């Protein structure tokens, strides 16, 4: 199976009124777990590498090449996406490495500068047949699209997409990043209005704080890409803690990391099936 284009995965999901799971890679074991989950489910997955992940590893290329190699070898379609890049240079480097989509996050810039910077990334990406995701909460807002209380205006979102040429849009509809409890509520009516107003797939960030049934309702309302990181990280870390508690003398890190990898993979498979509309 060759590396999948993110745009193709989103188009297929939109046609089915379903969503694609987009899960963050922290290290090689995360990527392995996610690809295994996709293969067991027979469903596509998007591997996401964030700017924070790049900072942790010290550079983009090693973790990127590992993720791309897993994607190329997978038995199901796997896309590789750059998540939340505030650096234009990082977005361009990901395009050069062969990522199938990049997210340029200019939310901290004044609106006009955000539009111009996003246009530059879009031009470079489209020349390489790579798609671009952006996010929009309040125009000109300094806290990003997922600060508490921020909501994306449908008219402003449609104008932003028209002005920048982005291929998908992360919208602020009630979720928030890094939540460890699933207590967030989505504005389903706003999602429907955004889906009607914006001619590109809608993306939900901060999904870890949203319960299963609400995510499913959001997909039915028009969400096409659902990002998850914190929730899966909790599965990994919880399994590692349990393994170490049961095996206090272990010194081989592969043993407890394998437990984390297996737990994350099982939960990722469940989420992929949930987002695709498959019964558990």
Residues known to be catalytic: 83
Round to whole Å and give the CA distance between 143 and 6. Answer: 27
Residue 114's contacts (CB-CB under 8 Å, 6 or more residues apart) are: 106, 107
Round to whole Å and give the CA distance between 40 and 148. Answer: 36
Q: Which helix (H) or strand (E) holds 194?
A: helix 188-197
Contact 245, 269 (CB under 8 A): no
Helices 154-164, 111-127: inter-axial angle, 10-degree rounding = 50
DSSP symbol at 211: -
- Both tokens assigned to 155: 């008219």
- Both tokens assigned to 146: 């997922």
């Amino acid at each position: 199976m060759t590396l999948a284009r993110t745009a193709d995965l989103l188009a297929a999901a939109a046609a089915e009124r379903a969503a694609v799971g987009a899960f963050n890679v922290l290290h090689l074991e995360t990527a392995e777990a996610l690809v295994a989950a996709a293969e067991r489910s027979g469903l596509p997955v998007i591997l996401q590498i964030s700017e924070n992940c790049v900072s942790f590893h010290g550079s983009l290329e090693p973790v990127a090449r590992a993720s791309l190699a897993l994607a190329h070898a997978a038995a199901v379609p796997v896309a590789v996406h750059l998540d939340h890049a505030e650096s234009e240079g990082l977005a361009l480097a990901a395009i050069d490495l062969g990522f199938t989509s990049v997210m340029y996050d200019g939310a901290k810039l004044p609106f006009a500068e955000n539009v111009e910077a996003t246009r530059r990334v879009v031009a470079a990406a489209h020349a390489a047949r790579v798609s671009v995701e952006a996010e929009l909460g309040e125009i000109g807002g300094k806290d990003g699209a997922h600060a508490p209380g921020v909501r994306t205006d449908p008219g402003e979102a449609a104008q932003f997409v028209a002005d920048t040429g982005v291929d998908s849009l992360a919208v602020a509809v009630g979720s928030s990043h890094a939540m460890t409890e699933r207590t967030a509520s989505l504005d389903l009516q706003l999602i429907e209005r955004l889906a009607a107003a914006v001619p590109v797939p809608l993306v939900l960030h901060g999904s870890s704080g949203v319960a299963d049934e609400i995510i499913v309702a959001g997909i039915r309302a028009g969400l096409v890409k659902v990002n998850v990181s914190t929730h899966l990280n909790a599965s990994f870390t919880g399994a590692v803690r349990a393994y170490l508690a049961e095996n206090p003398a272990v010194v081989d890190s592969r043993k407890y990391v394998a437990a984390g990898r297996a737990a994350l993979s099982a939960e990722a498979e469940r989420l992929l099936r949930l987002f695709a509309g498959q019964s558990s």
